[in-house]
Copies of this chain bind each other. A is one copy, B any other.
Amino acid sequence: MHADDRLPRYQRLRDEMVALVAARHWRPGEAIPTEQALAKSYDVAVGTVRKAVDLLVAEGLLERFQGRGTFVRRASFDSSLFRFFRFQTRQGERRIPESRILRREVVEAPSAVAATLQIPNGAKVIQMSRLRLIDGVPMLAEEIWLPFDRFAAFAQLELTEIGDLLYPVYEAQCNQVIASATETLTVEAIGPLHARLLRIEPGTPAVVIERLAYGYDRQPLEWRRSRGPASEFIYQAEIR
């Protein structure tokens, strides 16, 4: 099962390190072996290890701390587009919104969902509808789909057992770890259904964020579509 000898050593080393994290042999929060140790065990120079680690730090999989060591980074989703919703509390601090699951059921995947999650047509999915609030004010209306075969345990949980964040639950209950995601931002005039949930006027501009989240093996694990009032959204980017 192995990597192309024509690839540079630092690339192959990088790939092996990714595999160790994916296999949960190196776990988030833990320190990996020192550069010296890695150099010795993989029989390469320290400089080569450094270059491989450089890559993974740039990719966000590892974090370095001078004098302490190199650590597997927790996927934090700090760069998610959700960050650009100005959902501050009245004191202006950033908080995790409260979550209310409005509905959860197991259904046959609509064909668009099956295609997106890369599962067979007609396979079962968990469909969920969720409202996120700050200080009791609705901020985001979400629809979430999970492939049933990987998340069967999730369908059995009492709703009261599910906290404000889903990914830790996926990890603890279903052994499914989210490693990365792609997000897509579009804008629409909000429909009457979501308008009622969000307590805004139908036709008001809303930002729609679709997120497809992947495991370390690059398999799609979760699809969600979230809607929030566009008036609360501001995105900034650097251009070169």
- Name A's B-contacting residues (CB within 8 A): 58-61, 75, 77, 79-81, 179-189, 203-207, 211, 230-231, 233-240
Contacts and interface: CB of A to CB of B under 8 A. Distances in A.
A222 to B, nearest CB: 12
Contact of A235 (B59, B185, B238): B185
Given A203-B203, A205-B230, A230-B205, A240 B180 contact: yes
A180 B238 CA distance: 8
A207 B187 contact: yes
B187 A239 contact: no
Number of copies of this chain that the complex holds: 2
Contact of A187 (B184, B205, B240): B205
Scoring A186, A188, A203, A236 by chain B CB atoms within 10 A of each residue's CB, the highest score goes to A186
Contact of A240 (B59, B203, B234, B236): B59
A237 B205 contact: no
A77 B239 CA distance: 6
Scoring A75, A179, A188, A207 by chain B CB atoms within 10 A of each residue's CB, the highest score goes to A207
